[in-house]
Amino acid sequence: MQQRTIASFTVSAIGLGCMNLSHAYGTPPSAEQSERVLLAALDAGVTLFDTAALYGFGANETLVGKVLSKHRSSFTLASKGGMSGVHFDDGVKRVIDGRPEAIRKNCEDSLQRLQTDVIDLYYLHRWDKKVPIEDSVGAMAELVRVGKVRAIGLSEVSATTLRKAHAVHPIAAVQTEYSLWTRNPEIAVLEACRELGAAFVAFSPVARGFLCDALHDVGTLVPKDIRAAMPRFSPDNYAANLKLLPPYKALAEEAGCTPAQLALAWLLHKAPHIIPIPGTSSVAHLQEDLAAMDVRLDAGLLTRLDALISQGTVTGPRYSAQSASEVDTEEFGVSV
């Protein structure tokens, strides 16, 4: 198992994003199936498990705590606060709240659900733009000081925000969507992480299933599938994007790997501080993903990949206007 570094932690070069087991892509798998995936990942040598208070409104942390707490010393545990489910009269809704008191409460609640006394890597899930980033990070730094958190990270932030936060307390990792079809980190934050010594944790590294060749008809998406509200998955945009798949699959065949493995191998070849965290509800897919560490790509194939799928060839933005307003990442065509 190849290894990479986050702060003082040595972790597997590919981690496991646990969100899929409780959240975002329709009906979650059964508890038994989820347990099989988590334990299979641990048995295979995965040592970075990533969850969040938001996922399933606490259900994902509860699952991870129940299944993995007895193996706590065997892996690096990452979770996120600052965005969680809040109960209203008409149901549970996600709320971004970066106030210090909210971050402290989020962390306490997460510790209980995860059945642990310390979270190795604790992210601010979203920067609450009503609260100075320095205040939110200051609260997280206090969690480190009192021993409830070992290192802190940020999710979906710009290089400017990262540098402001890092001036308050060292930022161990930035987690942002990054794949062949989402290149925003290449504008500035990927390089800022390298300069500051922070790891870059890439979520949705197989483009929410697109680069797995797993979704051929967006009309089959169920209402609880977050992709149904994403512009790239609208019928017209997705029809255009599907035209990229045949030549992409041909490149995977040339590389001697599956489409999913090609997407992950591309990230691993990009820079040594990048750690992809694909998610899956299938043990077979988990094993397929981890085998991407053995894929070798030559410079010519990497160049052709970059030309085939990038911000210039993919149709549609990655987020709706509402979701885009909630993140702080750089955008192409906007000065930084």
Residues 57 and 85: beta-carbon distance below 8 Å: yes
β 3-6/9-12 pair status: antiparallel
Question: How many structural domains does the chain have?
Answer: 1
> Which residues on neighbouring strands pair with residue 151, listed in sequence order?
121
Q: Is residue 310 part of a domain?
A: no
> How far apart are the C-alpha atoms of 209 and 94, rounded to whole Å?
24
Its pTM stands at 0.96
Q: Is residue 323 part of a domain?
A: no
Write the CATH number for 81: 3.20.20.100
Q: Is residue 245 part of a domain?
A: no
Q: Quote the pLDDT of residue 333.
A: 74
* Domain encompassing residue 28: 3-209+266-295
Q: Is residue 287 part of a domain?
A: yes
Q: What is the mean pLDDT of the chain?
A: 96
Q: Is residue 254 part of a domain?
A: no
Q: Is residue 241 part of a domain?
A: no
Positions marked active-site: 55
Residues 320 and 59: beta-carbon distance below 8 Å: no
Nearest CA among 158, 167, 174 for reference residue 78: 174
| Segment 132-173, tens digit of pLDDT | 999 999 999 999 999 999 999 999 999 999 999 999 999 999
Does residue 3 register a pLDDT over 60? yes
Q: Is residue 56 part of a domain?
A: yes
Q: Is residue 225 part of a domain?
A: no
Q: Helix, strand, or coil here: 298?
A: coil
Instruction: Name the DSSP letter for residue 84.
Output: E
| Segment 200-253, tens digit of pLDDT | 999 999 999 999 998 999 999 988 899 999 999 999 999 999 999 999 999 999
- Percentage of the chain beyond pLDDT 70 is 99
